[in-house]
């Protein structure tokens, strides 16, 4: 199992880019850290360490239980009796979560693994979560940019459909963990402090500068102009239906219900539909514009030829896209505007994969 986790850390560049984004956005915060851990700490970890951590962290005293189905009062009493014996003398305590520090500028994190392709993940902090009304327009915006592994999103159309750059391009209005092999989020990951992220799946190294320019160019346009009313309403209506598909079984339904309870919300998925429907278009527009932070962002690139990318970022050099099949005239015309768009200057850090893991 240790070997499997180490290989996942070292060689899954597209997952690694997403993990590093969280690591850097929440640097010095309890949210920081790679989900699979670090190879050097894994090697030191023993079975006894895991057992001690498990006994200290899980107890009837910090347990939240959700049950569905025809459970009789006698069965409920028996369940409570059984669970009351689950580490009753352990009283786990967790420190209050501090607010994360915000970056003071854009941070580019370039991690070179010698590959011919690069994965890109970028994001910024959000001053709200699902319990706040500002979340719902931001959720509409992320869905418009692209739901996980779907084809209708703006970024998917621009980078894959029109230009054939890669497999997929998606956006997330909060922390996202894929529910196994589905297109939906996995329940069980609510967070007090959230972030917005965009994931560009691996594309040729030569096309990374253009892809970054396209994303920055379009984000600035959305920050100035928001979404048009038709796109806003259509995406909102889509989400109002889409949320019904999140819970594919009773286990998922109960888990999502517990997540919503964490945010002080009831009646999943009705409360989500109500939140989406509660904000008018103009108010939602203003919230979307205010939620886009182009100046305190983290941009992570994991792939090859990061030295050339660093030079392009530092000197703001032009970089034309490399096409296998020449696109139409309308795409090439838009390319000219994107190629001329200046990449935002910021702090640049460049590592090899092992160097990054050792430093962090």
Residue range 48-70, pLDDT digits in tens = 999 998 888 889 998 888 998 89
Q: Which long-range contacts (CB under 8 A, 24 or more apart) does 325-329 make?
A: 325/164, 327/162, 327/163, 327/164, 328/162
Domain count of the fold of the chain: 2
Is the model's pLDDT at 38 over the cut of 80? no
pTM of the model: 0.94
Greater confidence (155 vs 6) lies with 155
Least confident of 37-46, 62-71, 280-289: 37-46
Q: Are residues 54 and 147 in the same domain?
A: no
pLDDT at 1 over 70: no
145: pLDDT strictly greater than 90: yes
How big is the chain, counted in residues?
A: 360
User: Which residue shows structure tokens 């621009």?
Assistant: 158
Cα 292 from Cα 277, distance rounded (Å): 21
- Looking at the fold, whether 171 and 69 belong to one and the same domain comes out as no
> Above pLDDT 70, what percent of the chain?
96
Domain that holds residue 77: 2-83
Residue 316: name the closest of 209, 238, 218 by CA.
209
181-192 pLDDT per residue, tens:
899 999 999 999
195-217 residue pLDDT tens: 999 999 999 999 999 999 999 99
Q: Concatenated DSSP letters for 267-306?
A: STTHHHHHHHHTS-HHHHHHHHHHH--SSSEEEEEEES-H
100 part of a folded domain: no
pLDDT tier for residue 11 given thresholds of 50, 70 and 90: low
**What pLDDT is stored for residue 2 in this prediction?**
63
Percent residues over pLDDT 90 in the chain: 80
pLDDT of 342 reads 96
Q: Same domain for 164 and 54?
A: no
In the predicted model, is pLDDT for residue 258 greater than 80?
A: yes
Which of 49, 83, 117 terminates a domain? The answer is: 83
Whether 101 maps to a domain, the answer reads: no
285 and 317 in a single domain? The answer is: yes
Q: Does residue 313 sit in the same domain as residue 240?
A: yes
Query: Is residue 102 domain-resident?
Result: no
């Amino acid at each position: 199992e240790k070997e499997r986790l180490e290989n996942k850390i070292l060689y899954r560049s597209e997952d690694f880019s997403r993990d590093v984004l969280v690591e850097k956005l929440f640097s010095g915060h309890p949210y920081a850290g790679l989900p699979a851990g670090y190879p050097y700490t894994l090697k030191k970890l023993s079975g006894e360490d895991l057992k001690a951590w498990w006994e200290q962290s899980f107890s009837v005293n910090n347990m939240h239980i959700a049950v569905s189905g025809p459970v009789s009062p006698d069965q409920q009493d028996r369940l409570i009796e059984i669970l009351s014996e689950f580490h009753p003398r352990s009283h786990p305590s967790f420190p209050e979560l501090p607010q994360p520090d915000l970056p003071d500028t854009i941070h580019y994190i370039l991690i070179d693994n010698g590959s011919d392709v690069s994965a890109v993940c970028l994001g910024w902090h959000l001053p709200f979560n699902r319990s706040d009304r500002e979340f719902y327009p931001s959720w509409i915006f992320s869905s418009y940019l692209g739901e996980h592994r779907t084809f209708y999103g703006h970024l998917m159309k621009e980078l894959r459909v029109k230009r054939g750059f890669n497999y997929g391009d998606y956006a997330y209005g909060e922390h996202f963990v894929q529910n196994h092999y589905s297109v939906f989020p996995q329940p069980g990951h609510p967070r007090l402090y959230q972030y917005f992220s965009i994931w560009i799946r691996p594309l040729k190294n030569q096309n990374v500068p253009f892809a970054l320019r396209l994303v920055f160019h379009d984000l600035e346009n959305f920050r100035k102009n928001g979404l048009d009313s038709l796109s806003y309403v259509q995406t909102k209506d889509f989400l109002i239906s889409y949320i019904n598909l999140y819970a594919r079984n009773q286990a998922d339904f109960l888990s999502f219900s517990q997540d919503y309870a964490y945010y002080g919300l009831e009646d999943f998925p009705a409360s989500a539909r109500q939140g989406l429907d509660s904000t008018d278009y103009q108010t939602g527009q203003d919230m979307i514009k205010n939620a886009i932070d182009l100046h305190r962002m983290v941009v992570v690139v994991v792939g090859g030829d990061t030295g050339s990318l660093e030079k392009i970022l530092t000197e703001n050099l032009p970089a034309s896209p490399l096409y296998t099949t020449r696109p139409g005239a309308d795409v090439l015309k838009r390319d000219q505007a994107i190629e001329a768009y200046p990449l935002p200057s910021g702090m640049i850090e460049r590592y090899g994969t092992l160097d990054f893991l050792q430093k962090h």
